[in-house]
Amino acid sequence: MQPFEKPILVTRPIFPDIDGYKDQLHDIWESKWLSNNGPKHKELESKIKNYISAPNISLFNNGTVALQTAVQSLRLQGEVITTPFSFPATTHVLAWNGITPVFCDIHPETLTIDPEKIESLITARTTAILGVHVYGIPCHVEEIDQIAARHGLRVIYDAAHAFTTQVNEKEIAHYGDISMFSFHPTKLFHTGEGGALVYNDSTLKERIEYLKNFGIKNEDEVILPGINGKMSELQAAMGLQVLPLISDEKAKRSKIRSVYTTYLGNAPGITVLGVGANASQSEQYFCIRVDERQFGLSRDAIYHKLKEFNVYSRKYFYPLISKYPCYTNLPSASPDKLPVAEVAEKQVLCLPFYGDLQLDDVERICQIILSLR
């Protein structure tokens, strides 16, 4: 088999029609308003609120600052129980807030924080659980809610991959205290860079809005040590153009998922990661797990071989956050306490996944993988 002529990357952002974006820019030039809750920001906030039936929403300049603000808004301290199987930002926001992350192992099937292992990690210093709906696979939200209620803990979800996901026919952000969505260009819905917090308790709105705007209350008063988390008009304008395109993009990605699953779903040693019967797909990633003993080749070997064919997959999430030098000194980071995550980091591979990926190219990628055995 010949390599692809042009590189096939793991993802490609939605680029809306440039003329539509230019129209948005004309409006901005007319309004002379570039940031600080301008008309585009207001319009996007209300459109997303409707789109995902969000009880309360605040837009941000990126998902990381949004998550940082979520932690601040709940006044969390001490220790927060979280997953090592995620993007660096998930744990870094705890460290930036002076909180000790406590790593909890992940569930062998969902790869999200394992509810059965959370309670043994709770101490007098624990204030919250920070779960990640990794690849859009929902955390065990009901069990986590029950644990939190039993121990008086708050629950934050990093829902960076889970925009539009529903669990038990409810929008995912209805679970827990606060959910963060990332609108980075690699995400299904994006604003160039951006993010949002969605939360059930409307009394949090005021504090979150102050926190994301330096704590400024009015011309005379600054009431909190806030940060700059504001989404600009240029970002909001991009979001307004991208939002109407995502249902089409999801439909295309869903077809791509079917082709991948048809070819790879029954291959010995390959497991296609799914969201489970009670949830809907965010269509953010297409990921497989490779069991080297059955497939005959390791995940890493497939990753390198695909590169030779000009196909760029991602070893997402490798290495585990608990292995970053800044966290290895934590008792909970010890590999023998995270056996399931230890295996997952060596097995998961995210394959190219974006609406414009041609179905015959998807078939070819599958054939390449299967031919490697």
Ligand X SMILES: Cc1ncc(COP(=O)(O)O)c(C=O)c1O
Task: Report the alpha-carbon distance of residue 322 to residue 64 in Å, rounded.
Answer: 18
Q: Is 83 in the site for ligand X (CB under 6 A)?
A: no
Q: Is 332 in the site for ligand X (CB under 6 A)?
A: no
* Among 83, 86, 91, 164, contact with ligand X (rule: CB under 6 A): 86
Q: Is 176 in the site for ligand X (CB under 6 A)?
A: no
Distance in Å, CB of 13 to ligand X, minimum = 12
Q: Is 81 in the site for ligand X (CB under 6 A)?
A: no
Q: Is 136 in the site for ligand X (CB under 6 A)?
A: no
Q: Is 132 in the site for ligand X (CB under 6 A)?
A: yes
Pick 89 or 188: Cβ nearer ligand X: 89
Q: Is 110 in the site for ligand X (CB under 6 A)?
A: no
Distance in Å, CB of 194 to ligand X, minimum = 7
Contacts of 221 (CB under 8 A, 6+ apart): none
Number of residues forming the site for ligand X (CB under 6 A): 14
Distance in Å, CB of 25 to ligand X, minimum = 23
Distance in Å, CB of 144 to ligand X, minimum = 17
Three-class secondary structure assignment of the chain: CCCCCCCECCCCCCCCCHHHHHHHHHHHHHHCCCCCCCHHHHHHHHHHHHHCCCCCEEEECCHHHHHHHHHHHCCCCCEEEECCCCCHHHHHHHHHCCCEEEECCECCCCCCECHHHHHHHCCCCEEEEEEECHHHCCCCHHHHHHHHHHHCCEEEEECCCCCCCEECCEEHHHCCCEEEEECCCCCCCCCCCCEEEEECCCCHHHHHHHHCECCECCCCCECCCCCECCCCHHHHHHHHHHHHHHHHHHHHHHHHHHHHHHHHCCCCCEEECCCCCCECCCCCCEEEEECHHHHCCCHHHHHHHHHHCCECCECCCCCCHHHCCCCCCCHHHCHHHCHHHHHHHHHEEEECCCCCCCHHHHHHHHHHHHHCC
Distance in Å, CB of 110 to ligand X, minimum = 14
Pick 183 or 263: Cβ nearer ligand X: 183
Site for ligand X in 48-67 (CB under 6 A): 62-64
Q: Is 273 in the site for ligand X (CB under 6 A)?
A: no
* Among 160, 167, 288, 366, contact with ligand X (rule: CB under 6 A): 160
Nearest of 67, 69, 58 to residue 89 by alpha carbon: 67
Site for ligand X in 188-227 (CB under 6 A): 195
* Among 105, 114, 158, 171, contact with ligand X (rule: CB under 6 A): 158
Sign of CA dihedral 157, 163, 168, 169: positive
Pick 154 or 190: Cβ nearer ligand X: 190
* Among 87, 157, 210, 295, contact with ligand X (rule: CB under 6 A): 87
For residues 280 to 319, the per-residue mask of contacts with ligand X, x marking binding by CB under 6 A and - elsewhere, is ----------------------------------------
Pick 89 or 333: Cβ nearer ligand X: 89
Q: Is 89 in the site for ligand X (CB under 6 A)?
A: yes
Nearest residue to ligand X by CB is 63
Interface contacts to ligand X, rule CB under 6 A: 62-64, 86-87, 89-90, 132, 158, 160-161, 182, 184, 195
